[in-house]
Amino acid sequence: MHVIDQMLDAYPKDLGSVDRAALSKCIAACRECAQACTACADACLSEDMVSELTKCIRSNLDCADICTTTGNVLSRHTGYDANNTRAVLEACQAACKSCGDECERHADMHDHCKVCANACRKCEQACADLIATL
């Protein structure tokens, strides 16, 4: 059992009708994507042709920030606001799509971009799956 699941189980109040599996999966995907995007941006900065990766770096950093925020929002349940949660999930889904698209442009040349694109796609789908349950 992951720490995310343990924390959801330990929450002292009823979580309502939220799909715990989808919620847990989305929090984990957000955390993983944020790490991948941060690492990819750093790896891009180490590439010889860094000037050609400016948009990728920016997309990575934006996506990492949005995924981190989304994971944090999804981890808080007291005073839950479905409208805020949906808005954050939609923003995360859009950021992951954009970053995944950008990283895929460089995936043939840079393995870190390939790994990052895959993490973005996984998070994009996890957000979509959770949105579908709201």
Give a yes or no: residue 9 inside a domain. Answer: no
**How confident is the prediction for the chain on average, in pLDDT?**
95
Mean pLDDT of 81-103: 97
CATH at residue 110: 1.20.1270.360
Determine contact, residues 106/113, Cβ cutoff 8 Å.
Answer: yes
Domain housing 60: 19-133
* pLDDT for res 1: 63
Give a yes or no: residue 107 inside a domain. Answer: yes
Give a yes or no: residue 124 inside a domain. Answer: yes
Residue-wise pLDDT for 12-56, tens only, equals: 888 888 899 999 999 999 999 999 999 999 999 999 999 999 999
Mean pLDDT of 58-78: 97
Give a yes or no: residue 2 inside a domain. Answer: no
Please list, in sequence order, all residues whose beta carbon lies within 8 angstroms of the beta carbon of residue 46, skipping any fewer than 6 positions away. none
Number of domains making up the chain: 1
pTM (two decimals): 0.95
Give a yes or no: residue 5 inside a domain. Answer: no
> pLDDT higher for 78 or 107?
107
